[in-house]
Amino acid sequence: MASKKIAVLVGSLRKDSYTRRVAHSLIELAPAGLELSIVELRDLPLYNEDDETDPAPGAYAAFREAIRQADGILFCTPEYNRSVPGALKNAIDVGSRPYGKAAFADKPCAIVSVSPGALGGFGANHHLRQMLPFLNMPTMPAPEAYVGSVATKYDGAKLTDESSRAFFQKFMAAFGAWVDQHAA
């Protein structure tokens, strides 16, 4: 069976963010058959329909093509003000256009939210879950992933919390099965 390509969207732009560390841990712990790569959001201009041309502007076109080439999407998001960061929302807006030609359509996905607080980005996770049905994205319902107190789980870039490691492996195995079940 061919590997499934997974686009990983990290909502935090900071290169050493805890969210990015979690994303790298998930990539490392993914089961055989999943090929994950981070699709960067930092150079994606704010979506403006006035900029929409045929062909699409370079950054929009490159982002949309990266999403189209993926068999699934893994969203890794911190929580900003009980929601997703603006960079992630912008990426969703760019990928959802032009209307009727969304790059995200029919892509199975999962969400991991990250927070230094105890709730693990619960608000961001659920706010993102509200957006995805409109994009026709089958979203993995369980296990849900809320990584709270994330600063206690890492020593630098190294995941040191063994219970988190075990959970990440379980989560990624479930996501692999979800992608196999729902990928076009």
Please compute, for residue 146, the number of CA atoms within 13 A of its CA located in the half-sphere on the CB side: 15
Cis check: omega of the bond before 57, within 30 degrees of 0: no
CA distance 174 to 26: 12
Contacts of 28 (CB under 8 A, 6+ apart): none
Measured from the Cβ of residue 124, the count of other Cβ atoms closer than 10 Å reads: 28
CA distance 171 to 110: 9
Output the tens digit of pLDDT for each of the chain's 184 residues: 579 999 999 999 999 999 999 999 999 999 999 999 999 999 899 999 988 887 788 999 999 999 999 999 999 999 999 999 999 999 999 999 988 899 999 999 999 999 999 888 999 999 999 999 999 999 999 999 999 999 999 999 999 999 999 999 999 999 999 999 998 7
pLDDT of 54:
78
CA distance 81 to 70: 30
Nearest residue to 41 via CA among 94, 110, 116, 80: 94
4-182 CATH fold = Rossmann fold (3.40.50)
Q: Does residue 181 sit in helix, strand or coil?
A: helix
Contact indicator for 161, 152 with CB cutoff of 8 Å: yes
CA distance 15 to 96: 25
pLDDT of 1:
56
In the chain, domain spans: 4-182
CA distance 9 to 24: 11
